[in-house]
Amino acid sequence: MRTRMIGDVEVSAIGLGGMPMSIEGRPDRARSVATIHAALDAGITLIDTADAYHQFADEVGHNESLVAEALSTYSGDTSGVLVATKGGHLRPGDGSWTLDGSAAHLKEACEASLKRLGVEAIGLYQFHRPDPTVDYAESVGAVRDLLDAGKIRMAGISNASPDQIMQARDILGGRLVSVQNQFSPAFRSSEPELELCDDLGIAFLPWSPLGGISRAAGLGSTFKAFQEIADGRGISPQQVCLAWELAKSEVVVPIPGASRPKTILDSAKAVDVTLTAEELALLDGAGA
């Protein structure tokens, strides 16, 4: 498995996004654990989760607990696995997503995540999404405080603009290690954030890198160039997509979500796909 860096930690160039295993339409627990184990078998050492990855109001942290269970029951060595989680989003149980970026909430959420993950310090803690009712400096300041207190080992932000990246970097005293934004063939408006992360040497983690739960399977039908290249190489268009994203910059670490072993195993193979300059140019210009 090829690797990339998040801060001073070496991780697999492809990570695993845990959300599909815990929200609406999720599989049974056994299949989810098998999916995480398959990812580990494939050499994946980055697992992205969040306390808001759950369906019902009374199961906050469902995915964090699932990840902890999968790691504890894995037969191999998990000491090199980086678990990244997030705080600042809430799910009241009616299908909606709400926000609380207050310092008090983030600090309480981090303490709860620590317990669910069963660790003394969270490997990577990310502010999930800006809360328009709370000053951004307060939210990131809470993450800084958690970092200073040793509750988290590394700090990141998610769903951030270029200005917010620079502000967070300043508040964290240059210790911002990652930005997790949506990016895929269907959602390219985070290109400025990706380029800024490349300039600053900050890891860029595309979420929904295949277009999201409902669109990932049909990626090749929607974006013909990805299917054409996939057909020519005898691989899936999803592998082509992840290889295209990896080629954007050495700071890019896609985190495709999965809820089946076969899908994360397919995604993991993207690290072995090297696209030509001509193919990359075609994909860069591909539209829906």
For residue 139, give the nearest of 107, 91, 181, 183 by alpha carbon: 107
Task: Please list, residue by residue across 187-216, b when 16 or more beta carbons sit within 10 angstroms of its beta carbon and e when fewer do.
Answer: beebeebbebbeeeebbbbbbbbbbbbebb
Q: How far apart are CA 98 and CA 195, in angstroms?
A: 29
The structure tokens 């309480």 sit at 108
8 A C-beta contact, residue 72 and residue 35: no
8 A C-beta contact, residue 84 and residue 47: yes
- What residues pair up with 86 in beta bridges, in sequence order? 126
- The neighbour count for residue 153, using CB atoms within 10 Å, is 18
43, with CB counted inside 10 A (0-12, 13-18, 19+), is middle
Catalytic residue of the set 53, 74, 125, 136: 53
DSSP one-letter code for 186? T
Catalytic (active site) residue 53: yes
Q: How far apart are CA 198 and CA 200, in angstroms?
A: 5
3-state secondary structure of 43: coil
Q: How far apart are CA 57 and CA 90, in angstroms?
A: 9
Write out the catalytic residue numbers. Answer: 53
